[in-house]
A and B are shown apart, each in its own frame.
Chain A
């Protein structure tokens, strides 16, 4: 095993999942989901995540996703009740002939659920993720996050969307900054202004180049996310660095599209695995934290409601 070195340490992040294996996971999930008329969905999702996490490794040791279908099914039912309740109110107001009230309640309700969904989703997902038995964790405060969320949202609306860049970076900084990996803390220090300029540049160059710049824009964003992310423990640190290029993103996308079209969507598994592989191959970690010295600090948290509400609302993970 690795020697305990105090100076610079090397870290290898790797995704080794094969398309054919992921294909099997997807197909068996699909079969069971169809045969159970959709009820298998939470279990299917757990299997999928278990595979993807399990094939991702750091210094030769796999990550694990410990979430189970049962936990997610419970969350699924709770999320269903909450969303169902909102729709119930909506139809009640439609019935009472005040459709605007109904629509208003539905939209506000979904909006109010968003921060809870994001918060719950991170708490659950992180707490169920581990490496060498050391759990990740999310220590954000739900109230603080929700208040911030609505403040940022209000500012975004008042500025006709311009504040949106600051909102997404602030959210990222808050969420990622509250992630723990054992006793290692994550930090994210993006800046809304930089992010805004990046998007402005990407937007106009993409128009002028008839969309070709899109891949370089994507590369810039990825780089910005990754390079602003770091981990720290006491006075030690690990910095993340992206080595993706616009040209590679372009190639990746073209081949992915060809695979999807050529196989009528069945090649989706290969698309996912080769994309994951490219991403993980192009994240470099550098620093002097000795990973052997990580210790368990995070609790178990088994409520998947947030995760499932996020699923219903079609939220993609921020990270």
Chain B
């Protein structure tokens, strides 16, 4: 193939445009032309880079100075592009670019699918597995630090704390870690478990309880969190979720990153709901193991739900332990399905009154 066209040549030393007649010879693999000063140029095609920008073709040749030719002849540009493609010199990047808008929309969908799968399957899995390699001492360290920070603004009720610890001692909690209970003198209706085995109970939640079996239900639930290292799993999940978002959306724009971030926190909420469910199921087992009436657990939940409707200072509890009708239903279901036997435990009853008074 031999083609001829005109182009504008820049010598890389100045910006003076020189109109030149180009001869493209595919049999010899060269591009030949003559500049105004009579000099003959012969560019080896393999050393020339071709690029189409704003419908014009730009050819570049040489290292220092870099010489350029601009071609505006669309006919010629088309022929060269086809020739270049046929020779297989087209980069794989260019091939991807040339696949057209439909394929690119396909890529977009593909990426969204990957994101979705990553979110719902890979991230929770990685989070869970990561926990195994983190030593338990780290749980202890994390819990102690958090405990020290949180207790700062609250008064510990020494008497009740003592009684609650005695209460827990009476129970078989299947715990792998040493547990330590603390009662805080605050009207907040909440309780939480720290990864080091510290379980913090606010006076507010104790006040809402009517019977000791409710307290056993609460303890069972919180102990299950500790036994399963839920806090650490949550932390790992959030961290891997964050890494995932920043890897996938790092090159995208702010809007996408924001959307991704929100999906991350939503997904992490649902993950925490799974943990709540798991803690409910295992808490139930602990209650049954201790021959306590599991009805207490569902009673406690019902009370908390009523509390949520009336009182204002519960949002904390709401956000981390949403007491939904669903959870109450699940517990009631377990009461119906699973066999249990319970007997009155006078010691616990006495201690409960001390804690509650």
List residues of chain A with CB under 8 Å of any chain B CB: 1-2, 16-17, 20, 23-34, 37-38, 41, 44-45, 47, 54-55, 57, 61-62, 64, 66, 130-134, 182, 260, 264-266, 268, 291-296, 300
Query: Restricting to B74-113, which residues have a CB under 8 Å from any CB of A?
Result: 93, 96-97, 101, 104, 107-108, 110-111
1/0 contact trace for B235-255 toward A, CB 8 Å? 000000000000110111101
A-B CB contacts (within 8 Å), total count: 108
Stretch of B65-73, B151-159, B160-168 that contacts chain A: B65-73
Extra contacts, 9 of them, besides A130-B66, A133-B68, A268-B255 (Cβ < 8 A), are: A30-B252, A33-B251, A41-B250, A44-B251, A62-B53, A134-B15, A266-B108, A293-B14, A300-B64
A1-B17, A61-B70, A292-B15 known; A265+B253 contact, CB < 8 A: yes
Q: Does B259 lie within 8 Å of A28, measured CB to CB?
A: no
B14, B15, B114, B252 pick with most chain A CB within 10 angstroms: B15
Q: Does B250 lie within 8 Å of A28, measured CB to CB?
A: no
Query: Restricting to B33-51, which residues have a CB under 8 Å from any CB of A?
Result: 51
A20-B101, A132-B10 known; A54+B251 contact, CB < 8 A: no
Question: Chain A residue with minimal CB distance to B19?
Answer: A1
Q: Does B10 lie within 8 Å of A268, measured CB to CB?
A: no
Question: 8 shortest A-B CB distances, which residue pairs?
Answer: A54-B53, A294-B15, A265-B255, A265-B256, A133-B12, A1-B17, A132-B15, A27-B104
Kindly state the separation between the CA atoms of A54 and B49 in the bound complex, as whole angstroms. Answer: 14
Minimum CB–CB distance from B251 to chain A (whole Å) comes to: 5
Would you call B8 an interface residue if the criterion is a C-beta within 8 Å of the partner chain's C-beta atoms?
A: yes
**Chain A residues with CB below 8 A from B17, complex form:** 1-2, 132, 292
Q: Does B259 lie within 8 Å of A295, measured CB to CB?
A: no
A61-B70, A132-B17, A133-B11 known; A268+B259 contact, CB < 8 A: no
Main secondary structure of the interface of B (DSSP, over half): mixed
Kindly state the separation between the CA atoms of A61 and B107 in the bound complex, as whole angstroms. Answer: 32
What are 26 residue pairs bridging A and B, where the CB atoms are less than 8 Å apart in the complex?
Answer: A1-B17, A27-B107, A27-B111, A30-B108, A30-B251, A30-B252, A32-B96, A38-B247, A54-B51, A57-B54, A62-B53, A64-B58, A131-B15, A132-B15, A132-B68, A133-B11, A133-B12, A133-B15, A134-B14, A134-B15, A182-B15, A265-B255, A268-B252, A268-B255, A294-B14, A295-B13
Number of interface residues of B (CB under 8 A): 40
Q: Does B13 lie within 8 Å of A27, measured CB to CB?
A: no
Would you call B56 an interface residue if the criterion is a C-beta within 8 Å of the partner chain's C-beta atoms?
A: yes
Question: Chain B residue with minimal CB distance to A31?
Answer: B107
Question: Chain B residue with minimal CB distance to A48?
Answer: B251
Would you call B16 an interface residue if the criterion is a C-beta within 8 Å of the partner chain's C-beta atoms?
A: yes
Minimum CB–CB distance from A293 to chain B (whole Å) comes to: 7
Kindly state the separation between the CA atoms of A130 and B58 in the bound complex, as whole angstroms. Answer: 13
**Chain A residues with CB below 8 A from B255, complex form:** 260, 265, 268
A133-B12, A133-B68 known; A29+B256 contact, CB < 8 A: no
Question: Chain A residue with minimal CB distance to B64?
Answer: A300
A1-B19, A62-B54, A292-B15 known; A28+B65 contact, CB < 8 A: no
Question: Chain A residue with minimal CB distance to B115?
Answer: A34
Kindly state the separation between the CA atoms of A77 and B97 in the bound complex, as whole angstroms. Answer: 27
Minimum CB–CB distance from A46 to chain B (whole Å) comes to: 11
**Chain A residues with CB below 8 A from B251, complex form:** 29-30, 33, 41, 44-45
**Chain B residues with CB below 8 A from A54, complex form:** 51, 53-54
B14, B54, B253, B259 pick with most chain A CB within 10 angstroms: B54
Q: Does A31 lie within 8 Å of B101, measured CB to CB?
A: no
**Chain A residues with CB below 8 A from B64, complex form:** 300
Minimum CB–CB distance from B239 to chain A (whole Å) comes to: 16
**Chain B residues with CB below 8 A from A292, complex form:** 14-17
Minimum CB–CB distance from B77 to chain A (whole Å) comes to: 14
Q: Does A24 lie within 8 Å of B97, measured CB to CB?
A: yes
**Chain B residues with CB below 8 A from A29, complex form:** 251
**Chain B residues with CB below 8 A from A300, complex form:** 64
Minimum CB–CB distance from A15 to chain B (whole Å) comes to: 9
1/0 contact trace for B131-149 toward A, CB 8 Å? 0000000000000000000
A31-B111, A295-B15 known; A23+B56 contact, CB < 8 A: no
Q: Does B104 lie within 8 Å of A24, measured CB to CB?
A: yes
Q: Does B8 lie within 8 Å of A47, measured CB to CB?
A: no
**Chain B residues with CB below 8 A from A66, complex form:** 66
Kindly state the separation between the CA atoms of A33 and B247 in the bound complex, as whole angstroms. Answer: 8
Question: Chain B residue with minimal CB distance to A63?
Answer: B53
Q: Which of A24, A32, A33, A268 contacts B101 (CB 8 A)?
A: A24
Q: Which of B12, B96, B101, B248 contacts A296 (CB 8 A)?
A: B12
Kindly state the separation between the CA atoms of A291 and B17 in the bound complex, as whole angstroms. Answer: 10
Q: Which of B58, B66, B93, B253 contacts A47 (CB 8 A)?
A: B93
Minimum CB–CB distance from B146 to chain A (whole Å) comes to: 16
Kindly state the separation between the CA atoms of A129 and B10 in the bound complex, as whole angstroms. Answer: 16
